[in-house]
Chains A and B, each alone.
Chain A
Amino acid sequence: MDKSVLQRQDQDHLLSQSSAYTEEQLVLSCSNLSKRFGDKIAVEGLSFSIGKGECYGLLGPNGAGKTTTISMLCGLMPCDSGEVKILGQRLTHRSIEPRAYIGYVPQEIALYPELSPYDNLVFFGKLYGLQGKYLKQRISEVLEIVGLSDRARDKVQTFSGGMKRRANIAVGLLHNPKLLVLDEPTVGVDPQSRNAILESILDLRGYGMAILYTTHYMEEATRLCHRIGIIDNGHLIAEGTLRDLIDKFTTGNRLRVEPRRDITVLKQACEKIFGKDCIDLKGPYIYVTTQETDQAFFRIAKLANELLIPLISLELEQPNLEDVFLALTGKELRD
Chain B
Amino acid sequence: MRAFWPVFFNELHRKTLDFSFLVTSLVAPFVMSVILGLAFGHSQSSGLVRIGILIETKDADVVQIVHNGIAVAALPNAIKIDQIQNFSEGLREIKQGSLDSLIVIPSSFAQQNSGKQTQKVTVSKFDTVVNYTIGGILKPQSSLIQVISSKNSSVGSSIAQAIVGAIESRFYTGALVAYEITNQKNVKIPVPDYLSLVVKGAAYKVPLKIKNSVLASGRNIIGYYAPSMAIIFLFIGSGLGARTIVLERSLGTISRLIAAPVKGAPIVVAKVVAIMASGLISILALWLETSLIFHANWGSSLGVFLMCVSTVISMGGLAIFLTSFAKDDKQALTASVLVGFLLGLLSGNFFPPGSLPTYLYYGSLAVPNGWALVGFGRLSQEQLGWHAVIGPIFVLVLIGVIFGIASMFRINKVMTI
Interfacial residues, chain A to chain B (CB-CB below 8 A): 71, 74-77, 96-100, 102, 104, 106-115, 119, 123-124, 126-129, 171
Contacts and interface: CB of A to CB of B under 8 A. Distances in A.
B255 A123 contact: no
A96 B262 contact: yes
Given A115-B17, A123-B10, A106 B256 contact: yes
Contacts of B251: 108-113
Contacts of B257: 127
A108 B257 CA distance: 13
B267 to A, nearest CB: 9
Contacts of B252: 106-110
Given A71-B417, A123-B6, A171 B261 contact: no
Interface string B249-278: 011110111111111000000000000000
Nearest to B260: A127
Contacts of B13: 115, 119
A128 B260 CA distance: 6
B9 to A, nearest CB: 8
Contact of B6 (A76, A106, A126, A171): A126
Most buried by A among B3, B255, B256, B260: B256
A168 to B, nearest CB: 9
Contacts of B256: 104, 106, 110, 124, 171
B365 to A, nearest CB: 39
A100 B3 CA distance: 13
B14 interface: yes
Given A110-B251, A112-B253, A115-B17, A75 B3 contact: no
B17 A114 contact: yes
Nearest to B259: A104
A102 B259 contact: yes
B18 A97 contact: no
A76 to B, nearest CB: 5
Contacts of B262: 96, 127
Given A106-B256, A129-B2, 4 more contacts: A107-B252, A111-B253, A127-B2, A127-B7
Majority secondary structure of chain A interface residues (helix, strand, loop or mixed): loop
Interface in B12-28: 13-14, 17-18
Interface in B119-147: none
Nearest to A103: B259
B259 A76 contact: yes
B261 A129 contact: yes
A77 B417 contact: yes
A76 B260 contact: no
Contact of B14 (A75, A109, A115): A115
B259 A114 contact: no
Nearest to A126: B6
A99 B6 contact: no
B261 A96 contact: yes
A126 B3 CA distance: 8
B248 to A, nearest CB: 9
Contacts of A171: 256
Interface of B: 2-3, 5-7, 10, 13-14, 17-18, 250-253, 255-263, 417
B253 A127 contact: no
Contact of B3 (A109, A111, A127): A127
A76 B417 contact: yes
B259 A96 contact: no
B138 to A, nearest CB: 82
A111 B259 CA distance: 14
Contacts of B2: 126-127, 129
Contacts of A98: 261
Contacts of A128: 260-261
9 contacts: A76-B255, A104-B256, A106-B255, A107-B252, A109-B252, A111-B251, A124-B260, A126-B5, A127-B257
A280 to B, nearest CB: 42
What are the 5 A-B residue pairs with the smallest beta carbon separation, nearest first? A108-B252, A110-B252, A126-B6, A99-B261, A100-B261
A126 B258 CA distance: 14
Contact of A99 (B18, B250, B259): B259
B274 to A, nearest CB: 13
Nearest to A129: B2
A98 B261 CA distance: 8
A71 B253 CA distance: 14
A129 B3 CA distance: 9
A175 to B, nearest CB: 9
Contacts of B7: 127
Contacts of B18: 114
A286 B213 CA distance: 104
Contacts of B17: 114-115
Nearest to A124: B256
Contacts of A113: 251
B258 A75 contact: yes
A74 B259 CA distance: 6
Contacts of A112: 10, 14, 251, 253
Contacts of A123: 6, 10
Most buried by A among B252, B258, B261: B261
A102 to B, nearest CB: 7
A115 B14 CA distance: 7
A125 to B, nearest CB: 9
A28 to B, nearest CB: 14
B417 to A, nearest CB: 5
Contacts of B250: 108
B252 to A, nearest CB: 3
B132 to A, nearest CB: 70
Nearest to B252: A108
Contacts of A96: 261-263
Contacts of B417: 71, 76-77
Contacts of B5: 126
A128 to B, nearest CB: 6
Nearest to A123: B10
A158 B232 CA distance: 34
Contacts of A100: 261
A87 to B, nearest CB: 13
B246 to A, nearest CB: 14
B261 A114 contact: no
Nearest to A171: B256
A318 B250 CA distance: 42
Contacts of A76: 255, 258-259, 417
A106 B261 CA distance: 16
